[in-house]
């Protein structure tokens, strides 16, 4: 992909990744390159099995490359140990999943507070941050509600609050609206747009939905292990 | 929120399951506490036994008597510092159900020999030696029956009778003695052998057993051999052993308590270990996705290992501590009823400490497998994305 003038927040250089299935090795990426500048909002689309989720896993340090370099916010994460990766994730990456993945036994506020347990912040400061994050996603009045007491859209908003509460460099969203109806999906996507525009969060969103991809600043199509940029608005 | 709250929330996410696991652990530790208290009480005699004391009993069985003449002969043996003799009375107060530990003893030598274990007040000792019907009562027994110095108490025997056919002897309480250490039981009384021997209708000039103090524990074997050789091939051969061995053998009549405790507690623990361990593995497996999410958020493998272990240890403590508390209540309730048969039943600090160690052991044993699984979990695989 073409680089922009600013120092990229995400840089993939000749990344190779494959999976072994029985005796057979299936290559997902072979010398994949990518560069995303700070403050970008990128949608990644592509057919099933094209490697969208695998790429998100690699960017979030959830999986390892076979070869190549991954640089996120100036850090070579392919060189970090498991423990270092976990600590790095807690401060640099916010994840939003398709199925929200909230802890059912914790309230909305407690779910949002989870990443802050890994910081040295005092209780009062944690509470302030949790309240701020829930306010951003318009759930300030739902702090004590449990996931089972909330709709899918509300749960996803709690998940977004959890993702942004530690002020990460990068938000990785894996089909964030895949489990929601159109109206709720639009609300969530609009919220991501606000986070990108007003809080300058860099967002990479994997989606199958062209309507969802329209909310992003640009869309990358992943096919056969390589990116193809298309302007959907054109 | 903190890690402890997270652990607690995880543990009680299925309240019925957590409640049942806690109940099963509670029962196990209650059993452990009560049995350990019994075992402790049965073996307390071993702990108070002095190293330089020997016990001489009839070789056939310690319930068989020895001739009184042996007493003076043993006194003369080299290496013997002091010797006394005791006789089982089989006493009860007013009703045969009120069983009492009562011994007919030689007052002077008895109070001298056991002076290190019990505090016999000087005036009480003098009165005990000087008055034929005097008796010394242990503090616990006096407290139980509300007896005080100067009281006249009729004590009956379910073994012996007097020459006039009466089974009851009248005693005057000359003094109340205390234990010098926490272990020695004071729920018994002693009275003069001479009074007993003169008035009883049978077994005249026979004694139950002898207790003696040697000049040093180093000569115990030599003295024991000398005594048993002295009475070899007589009508009443003797068996001499250390007081500790005698007490242990006495307790063993009721069965190997330590083995019973080990088997019962061991079986209960093994069963609970399997149930709780299996349930913990299942509970954590159900949360595989949540653990993967926590890892995604930045929780390290070590952090999750601690959280899961914390959960299993908390579970063990929540079941174990009330279990020990229940055992404490049970021992309090049965303490008085069984005081005559198994004196000194108590949940000692040692048992509580052992219980705590077992709780931690149970927690770590049941939590280690699911904790390791959480530690090793691959995020991408667990999220079904790999």
Residue A4 binned pLDDT confidence (cut-offs 50, 70, 90): very low
Q: Does any domain span residue B248?
A: no
How far is B378 from chain A, CA to nearest CA, in Å? 8
Partner-chain residue, chosen from A86, A88, A117, that has the shortest CB–CB distance to B1: A117
User: Does one domain contain both B126 and B190?
Assistant: yes
Chain A: residue whose CA lies nearest to B13: A105
DSSP states of B149-211 as a string? TT-EEEEEESS--BTTS--EEEEEEEEEEEESSSSS----EEEEHHHHHHHBSSSTTEESEEE
Residues of chain A neighbouring B301 (CB-CB closer than 8 A):
82-83, 86
User: Does one domain contain both B123 and B69?
Assistant: yes
Could you read off the pLDDT of B220-238 as tens digits, one per residue?
Answer: 999 999 999 999 999 899 9
Tell me the CB-side half-sphere exposure of residue A125, using CA atoms within 13 A: 7
Torsions phi, psi for A226 (to 5 deg): -140, 150
- Nearest residue to B118 via CA among B16, B169, B189, B27: B189
Burial class (CB in 10 A: 0-12, 13-18, 19+), A5: exposed
The pLDDT of residue A183 is above 90: no
User: Does one domain contain both B69 and B218?
Assistant: yes
User: Does one domain contain both B200 and B344?
Assistant: no
Give chain B's contact residues with A (Cβ, < 8 Å).
Answer: 1-3, 5-6, 9-10, 12-13, 289-290, 293-303, 379-380, 383, 385-386
Do the Cβ atoms of A118 and B297 come within 8 Å? yes
The b-or-e profile of B232-248 (16+ CB within 10 A means b, else e) is: eeeeeebbbbbbbebbb
Contact B169, B196 (CB under 8 A): yes
Tell me how many domains chain B contains: 2
Distance CA B272, CA B278 (A): 10
Residues of chain A neighbouring B2 (CB-CB closer than 8 A):
117
CATH, domain range A38-64+88-230: 3.40.50.300
User: Does one domain contain both B70 and B216?
Assistant: yes
How many Cβ atoms from other residues are within 10 Å of residue B2's Cβ? 10
Distance CA B123, CA B174 (A): 8
Q: Does any domain span residue B49?
A: no
How many Cβ atoms from other residues are within 10 Å of residue A211's Cβ? 13
Could you read off the pLDDT of A66-87 as tens digits, one per residue?
Answer: 999 999 988 899 889 888 888 8
Which neighbouring-strand residues pair with A156? none
Residue B385 binned pLDDT confidence (cut-offs 50, 70, 90): very low
User: Does one domain contain both B192 and B87?
Assistant: yes
Distance CA B255, CA B385 (A): 62
Do the Cβ atoms of A83 and B13 come within 8 Å? no
Query: Which whole number is the average pLDDT over B242-252?
Result: 76
User: Does one domain contain both B288 and B195?
Assistant: no
User: Does one domain contain both B72 and B207?
Assistant: yes
The whole-chain average pLDDT of chain B stands at 88
Do the Cβ atoms of B385 and A174 come within 8 Å? yes
User: Does one domain contain both B230 and B259?
Assistant: no
Least confident of A70-79, B41-50, B214-223: B41-50
Q: Does any domain span residue B246?
A: no
- Nearest residue to B314 via CA among B33, B2, B6, B34: B6
Torsions phi, psi for A20 (to 5 deg): -100, 125
DSSP states of A111-180 as a string? HHHGGGGGS---HHHHHHHHHHHHHHTT-GGGTT--GGGS-HHHHHHHHHHHHHTT--SEEEEESTTTTS
Chain A: residue whose CA lies nearest to B302: A83
Q: Is B8 helix (H, G, I), strand (E, B) or coil?
A: helix
The pLDDT of residue B216 is above 70: yes
Do the Cβ atoms of A54 and B385 come within 8 Å? yes
DSSP states of B44-86 as a string? HHHHH--TTEEEEEESS-TTS-EETHHHHHHHTSTTEEEEEEE
Partner-chain residue, chosen from A19, A90, A103, that has the shortest CB–CB distance to B298: A90
Q: Does any domain span residue B241?
A: no
Furthest C-alpha separation in chain A: 55
Q: Does any domain span residue B54?
A: no
Partner-chain residue, chosen from A19, A86, A110, that has the shortest CB–CB distance to B299: A86
Contact A11, A188 (CB under 8 A): no
- E strand or H helix that includes residue B352: helix B349-376
Distance CA A221, CA A226 (A): 8
- Give the domain-ending residue among B205, B235, B265: B235
Partner-chain residue, chosen from B5, B299, B379, that has the shortest CB–CB distance to A62: B379
Q: Does any domain span residue B58?
A: no
Spatial neighbors of B381 by CB under 8 A, at least 6 apart, are none
Could you read off the pLDDT of B27-37 as tens digits, one per residue?
Answer: 989 988 988 88
Chain A: residue whose CA lies nearest to B8: A105
- Which pLDDT belongs to residue A47? 86
Q: Is A214 helix (H, G, I), strand (E, B) or coil?
A: coil
Residues of chain B neighbouring A53 (CB-CB closer than 8 A):
385
Could you read off the pLDDT of B251-277 as tens digits, one per residue?
Answer: 666 666 667 777 887 888 788 888 888
Distance CA B314, CA A18 (A): 43
User: Does one domain contain both B273 and B301?
Assistant: yes
User: Does one domain contain both B306 and B378?
Assistant: yes
Residue A111 binned pLDDT confidence (cut-offs 50, 70, 90): very high
How far is B334 from chain A, CA to nearest CA, in Å? 43
Query: Which whole number is the average pLDDT over B1-17?
Result: 88
Could you read off the pLDDT of B286-317 as tens digits, one per residue?
Answer: 888 889 999 999 898 899 999 999 999 999 99
Q: Does any domain span residue B249?
A: no
Residue B47 binned pLDDT confidence (cut-offs 50, 70, 90): low
How far is A230 from chain B, CA to nearest CA, in Å? 26
Distance CA A168, CA A94 (A): 6
Q: Does any domain span residue B53?
A: no
Residues recorded for chain A: 234
Contact B141, B188 (CB under 8 A): yes
ipTM of the complex as predicted: 0.87
Do the Cβ atoms of B294 and A117 come within 8 Å? no
- Which pLDDT belongs to residue A3? 44
Residues of chain A neighbouring B15 (CB-CB closer than 8 A):
none
The pLDDT of residue A30 is above 60: yes
How far is A20 from chain B, CA to nearest CA, in Å? 11
Owning domain of residue B337:
3-44+255-383
Rounded percentage of chain B residues whose pLDDT exceeds 70:
93
Residue A28 binned pLDDT confidence (cut-offs 50, 70, 90): confident
Partner-chain residue, chosen from A53, A88, A90, that has the shortest CB–CB distance to B297: A90
């Amino acid at each position: 992909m073409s680089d922009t003038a600013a120092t990229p927040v995400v840089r993939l250089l000749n990344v190779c990744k494959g999976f072994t299935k029985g005796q057979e090795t299936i290559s997902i990426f072979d010398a994949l390159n990518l560069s995303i500048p700070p403050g970008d909002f990128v949608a990644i689309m592509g057919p099933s099995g094209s490697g969208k989720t695998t790429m998100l896993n690699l960017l979030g340090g959830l999986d390892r490359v076979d070869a190549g370099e991954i640089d996120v916010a100036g850090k070579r994460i392919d060189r970090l140990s498991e423990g270092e990766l976990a600590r790095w994730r807690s401060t640099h990456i916010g994840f939003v999943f398709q199925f929200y993945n909230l802890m059912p036994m914790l309230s909305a506020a407690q779910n949002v507070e989870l990443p802050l347990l890994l910081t040295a912040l005092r209780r009062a400061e944690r509470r302030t941050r949790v309240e701020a994050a829930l306010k951003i996603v318009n759930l300030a009045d739902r702090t004590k509600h449990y996931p089972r007491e909330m709709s899918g859209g509300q749960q996803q908003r709690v998940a977004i609050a959890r993702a942004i509460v530690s002020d990460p460099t990068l938000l990785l969203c894996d089909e964030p609206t895949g489990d929601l109806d159109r109206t709720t999906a639009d609300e969530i996507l609009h919220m991501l747009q606000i986070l990108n525009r007003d809080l300058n969060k860099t967002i990479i969103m994997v989606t199958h939905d062209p309507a969802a991809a329209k909310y992003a600043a640009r869309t990358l199509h992943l096919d056969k292990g390589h990116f193809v940029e298309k302007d959907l608005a054109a | 929120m903190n890690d402890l709250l997270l652990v607690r929330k995880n543990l009680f996410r299925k309240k019925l399951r957590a409640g049942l696991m806690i109940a099963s652990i509670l029962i196990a530790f209650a059993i452990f506490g009560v049995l350990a208290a019994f075992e402790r009480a049965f073996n307390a005699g071993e702990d108070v036994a002095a190293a330089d004391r020997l016990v001489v009993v009839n070789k056939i069985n310690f319930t068989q008597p020895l001739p009184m003449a042996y007493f003076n002969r043993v006194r003369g043996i080299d290496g013997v510092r002091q010797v006394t003799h005791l006789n089982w009375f089989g006493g009860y107060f007013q009703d045969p159900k009120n069983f009492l530990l009562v011994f007919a003893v030689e007052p002077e030598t008895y109070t001298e020999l056991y002076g290190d274990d019990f505090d016999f007040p000087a005036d009480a000792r003098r009165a005990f030696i000087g008055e034929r019907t005097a008796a010394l009562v242990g503090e616990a027994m006096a407290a139980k029956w509300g007896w005080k110095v100067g009281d006249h108490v009729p004590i009956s025997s379910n073994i012996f009778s007097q020459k006039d056919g009466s089974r009851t002897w009248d005693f005057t309480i000359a003094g109340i003695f205390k234990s010098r250490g926490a272990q020695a039981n004071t729920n018994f009384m002693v009275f003069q052998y001479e009074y007993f021997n003169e008035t009883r209708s049978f077994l005249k000039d026979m004694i139950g057993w002898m207790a003696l103090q040697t000049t040093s524990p180093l000569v115990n074997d030599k003295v024991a051999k000398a005594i048993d050789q002295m009475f070899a091939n007589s009508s009443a051969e003797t068996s001499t052993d250390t007081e500790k061995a005698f007490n242990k053998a006495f307790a063993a009549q009721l069965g190997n308590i330590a083995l019973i405790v080990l088997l019962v507690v061991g079986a209960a623990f093994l069963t609970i270990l399997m149930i709780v361990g299996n349930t913990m593995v299942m509970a954590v497996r159900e949360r595989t996705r949540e653990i993967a999410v926590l890892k995604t958020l930045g929780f390290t493998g070590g952090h999750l290992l601690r959280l899961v272990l914390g959960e299993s240890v908390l579970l063990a403590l929540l079941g174990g501590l009330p279990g020990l508390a229940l055992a404490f209540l049970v021992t309090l309730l049965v303490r008085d009823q069984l005081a005559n048969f198994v004196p000194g039943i108590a949940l000692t600090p040692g048992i509580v400490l052992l219980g705590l160690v077992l709780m931690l052991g149970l927690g770590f044993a049941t939590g280690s497998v699911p904790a390791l699984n959480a530690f090793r979990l691959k995020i991408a695989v667990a999220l079904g994305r790999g």
